[in-house]
Amino acid sequence: MLTKYTFGTPFDTQAVTAQVREGENCPFFEISRGEGSLSFRCPLAERDIVYGLGETMGGINKRGGRYVSFNTDNMRHVTGMPSMYGSHNFLVIDGAKPFGAFFDTPARVVFEVDFEGSGQVYVRCESEDVALYTVEGESAYAIVRQFLAAIGRSFIPPLWAFGFGQSRWGYKDERDIRTVADRYAAAGMPLDYICMDIDYMERYKDFTVNKKRFPDLSAFAAEMKGRGIRLVPIVDAGIKAEPGDETYEEGVREDYFCKNLEGKYFRAAVWPGMTHFPDFFRPEVRAWFGAKYKVYTDCGIEGFWNDMNEPSIFFSEYTRGKLRGRNCGDPLYRGNAFLSDYKSFYHTIGGKEVLHYDVHNAFGGNMTRASCEGLEKLLDKRFLLFSRASYIGAHRYGGIWTGDNTSKWEHLRQNVLHMPSLNMCGFLYSGADTGGFSGRATRELLLRWLAFSVYTPLMRNHCMKYMRRQECYRFGKKEEFRSLLALRYRLLPYIYSEFVKAALSSDMYMKPLAFGYPQDERARRIEDQLLVGDSLMVAPVLEKGAKGRTVYLPEAMTQVRWTGETFKTLSVPAGERFVEVPLGEAVFFIRRGRLLPVGGACMHTGEADLSAVTLLGDGEEYAQYIDDGTTRDVRAENIRILKRR
């Protein structure tokens, strides 16, 4: 059961799409008012688990942490870092009487969950205008599913978006991209798309193409698509303030940009230099911005990633005297931007001026919405779209990746911990930069990371220039990398089916072990084993130098070992065991009474036949979602029942 409690006049984020009954006195929290703020408190029992909060550092159980919802471009992902790129204000307290709570406000929110042993959840909203939604149910899992139904169906990309993607900040021209495609093909490694970072643009300006580097983007996109590979260009949030630039001139003529304290267009430095930010909260601005993607779709491009949309600011017209990266100890400094920048410009919403700081967390999600709505008009099929900044509700328009991580073992572990928390907040199509965006990925780390990313919907190897190149073909013993990429494609019939079924039924694609075995106290405390869809359990190797790992099975399961060529199955009883997992191999488990469909080998999704499958496991039947991989007509009628022979 969902109930809405209204405080003041909440900003309409449109995160919740369902009709929800209104309540008067919230029974779950002690509520107090401060000067321009609202605070909520509730006690925690010793054994209560707190789930949710999406993209935050730390464990699946949020106890012991302090988390700040304030979208921030900060690549120093360290334990205890309060803010990341997204703000997902939904949590579930799993205790004697479980309940969930969504604090719907785009302003800054602080969550302290048993912080420093307080024995309570404390939430402070930096606004008196808040819509609080509470969710009651029999279990944490049931509560999450109710919440997912209330916020609307997840974005569903095309089949090719579930293939493997290669990316690097530094691919500067056709030759670079063609070389990547050639070397993957020569190594016998499948590949479905290559991302184009800011170097493809003319001086880093949105909706432009450097003609020297890409003289005929349409022909190049067609060439690559003929090889089964899509191009996926990046689009940033800022429009270069440059007279003569078509997008800039249109934005000025139609008055589409955010205003500063003096009522002029706000100027902030990002990659192209001084830019203006489109006022994405206005429908007409979203329509204009989304239509600009025609520059790419006219070239046959069907996939995009949005970046720098927290928005990231290097400095503004008000703070340009402070060098980027200096004053990091200043309490005003967060990542690249000063908080004072966010208090220096306005949006026009419903005819009223609204300070950006007060709606900051919803800015990036509205850019994603603009892109999605534009692409839906430009294309007659599904497309790929993922973004960096987000707020609950943006999951209906695109996926997300978890930003600028590092080639560290703890960031591989964090990738595992992020996935179910993001799913709880609606973001099913998600993943991390496999191998790490910055740093120096070792062969071992990349192999172990790939062995987990095999199961995440977004599987992209991405890194930055100036760092070690980490394309899979660059390392020795290529057969070990080929093995893991081949596994991804063999699992496509299952991954695609389970993802779409989850989206259609308001379910999670990746879940904590506890959600499948809520009565098993041991399972409730395990965070490094996840359920993927309904049939599969994964237990990735997360330690440097490890030959395998200890795995806990709450029930008897079918162990499946992928050797690079074949699946070897073994029935194993419930309990704890050490499982050896050599580099280049993968071990996963099929739950009792379930089946898992696997397909044949292929070099890209265009060669995949999702209908030709072999069933693994001890179940009797499997409900497979299957369609042409591009149709927008995604519905439950496309599910077929496969029976074990």
* Residues marked as catalytic: 307, 310, 404
Residue 265 parent element (H or E): none
| Strand bridging mode 595-598 / 586-590 | unpaired
C-alpha atoms less than 13 angstroms from C-alpha of 322 in its C-beta half-sphere:
22
| Contact criterion met (CB below 8 Å) for 299 and 291 | no
- At residue 74, the 3 state secondary structure works out as coil
N residues, the chain: 645
d(C-alpha 385, C-alpha 196), whole Å: 13
| Contact criterion met (CB below 8 Å) for 577 and 633 | no
d(C-alpha 269, C-alpha 339), whole Å: 15
C-alpha atoms less than 13 angstroms from C-alpha of 464 in its C-beta half-sphere:
12
* Displacement of CA 553 from its chain's centroid (Å): 28
Closest to 115 (Cα-Cα) out of 64, 51, 49, 60: 64
Residue 389, both tokens: 């900044």
d(C-alpha 583, C-alpha 586), whole Å: 8
Dihedral sign, CA of 319, 322, 323, 327? negative
Per-state percent for the chain, helix, strand, coil, to nearest 5: 25, 30, 45
- At residue 359, the 3 state secondary structure works out as helix
Residues 6+ apart with CB under 8 A from 226: none
